[in-house]
Homo-oligomer: A and B are copies of this chain.
């Protein structure tokens, strides 16, 4: 009774989630203290204090009919106003009015809303490997195939604009990028993004239709060592931003985010209106109201970056000390580790035997590598050291 269009998704499941469930099972078997779970991006930090204060204020000082009733389908005007102002300040220009901000239940939902509005079945969406595995599923909801531009290690995992150029076909209506990147922890360079923008402008001209660059930016605020994430509108007009507070406020269970359509994007007004309708008819409608009112009050708050930075540093020391090669993260909370053998499933299996849960790169179309999420507790990272060294020794990387 499961439809043909759903079956592949049921069979595919999620490698990350499977590892997460496996971790829960292992914790029961060998004791939670002997399992080092680097599989899922579930923040080990609690939200900043401002979030708790906001909840108290919302629960006790605001009109309940306002808090729990229907806002406009796009969300509260007050929330969208501060989001628009904040984005304009960030962008250094007048890119957004409140009509350009559509609140919703997170970035995944936001990408679905966009694809609902701009694609027909048979269209295509391009992504750069390695990429968050769900992207293909979100496109698949709409009968949209994903074109995967291969990862380029020579470019240090920056998006490969030349490879994109060769793979673009008229059916491509969108390119989806994730910056800072999950799973590599890399921030794409402005040069690489400019090159991608050049290719897209050329293709728009050639094919005679708009190609939107969907910028999935949940990790935008989680950057280290003074790195910065370029504002998409500064390098490509037809860009759309999807955002979630899951990471910046450590509240992924709360399902709160937005889509922002900058004024420089083709048909911005018409598209923003369509997005409001898509948000409604897909059933999420506005983002959950308590959470909208929380983020309105906590827009300049964020999780303790230094916590993740220290985790990045400490895990890097341990993993490289155990003989592995990996990318030092500039943002997000993922470390991209090169498998010591071509088949990274062998590496992941060996790690699991020592209680370390990491995700095979093939799940991100990045075979030969694996991802370690370091958003958990710092002491788990330190306790995992001996296990990492055992794995390193198993592959003859260290004595």
Residues of A within 8 A of B (CB): 1-6, 9-10, 13-14, 17, 40, 42-44, 46-47, 51-52, 55-56, 59-60, 64-65, 67-71, 73, 105-113, 116-121, 123, 134, 137-138, 140-141, 143, 173, 209-210, 212, 250-256, 266-267, 270-271, 273-274, 277-278, 280-291
Contact = CB atoms under 8 A, between A and B. Distances in A.
Contacts of A270: 1-2, 10
A65 B44 contact: yes
Given A3-B119, A284-B105, A13 B70 contact: no
A242 to B, nearest CB: 10
A6 B256 contact: no
A281 B70 contact: no
A140 B69 CA distance: 27
Contacts of A210: 1
Contact of A42 (B56, B69, B282): B69
Contacts of A9: 274, 277-278, 281
Contact of A285 (B4, B108, B110): B108
Given A1-B270, A273-B10, A288-B254, A281 B140 contact: yes
B209 A108 contact: no
24 contacts: A1-B271, A2-B274, A3-B118, A3-B119, A3-B173, A6-B277, A9-B278, A9-B281, A10-B270, A14-B280, A43-B65, A43-B69, A52-B59, A55-B290, A67-B253, A109-B283, A109-B284, A121-B143, A141-B281, A255-B288, A282-B282, A284-B284, A288-B290, A290-B291
A63 to B, nearest CB: 8
Given A6-B117, A105-B255, 7 more contacts: A46-B64, A56-B56, A106-B284, A141-B282, A253-B289, A255-B286, A290-B291
Nearest to A256: B288
Nearest to A43: B69
Given A2-B271, A273-B10, A291-B288, A253 B69 contact: yes
B13 A277 contact: yes
B121 A121 contact: yes
A1 B65 contact: no
Contacts of A60: 52
Nearest to A45: B65
A52 B61 CA distance: 11
A349 B17 CA distance: 54
A69 to B, nearest CB: 5
A270 B284 CA distance: 24
B1 A267 contact: yes
Contact of A68 (B1, B67, B253): B253
A68 B252 contact: yes
A294 to B, nearest CB: 9
B274 A10 contact: yes
A140 B67 CA distance: 31
A378 to B, nearest CB: 14
A266 B118 contact: no
A2 B117 contact: yes
Given A1-B209, A120-B3, A120-B4, A254 B70 contact: no
Contacts of A51: 68
A62 to B, nearest CB: 11
Nearest to A17: B73
A313 to B, nearest CB: 22
A78 B284 CA distance: 23
Contacts of A42: 65, 69-70
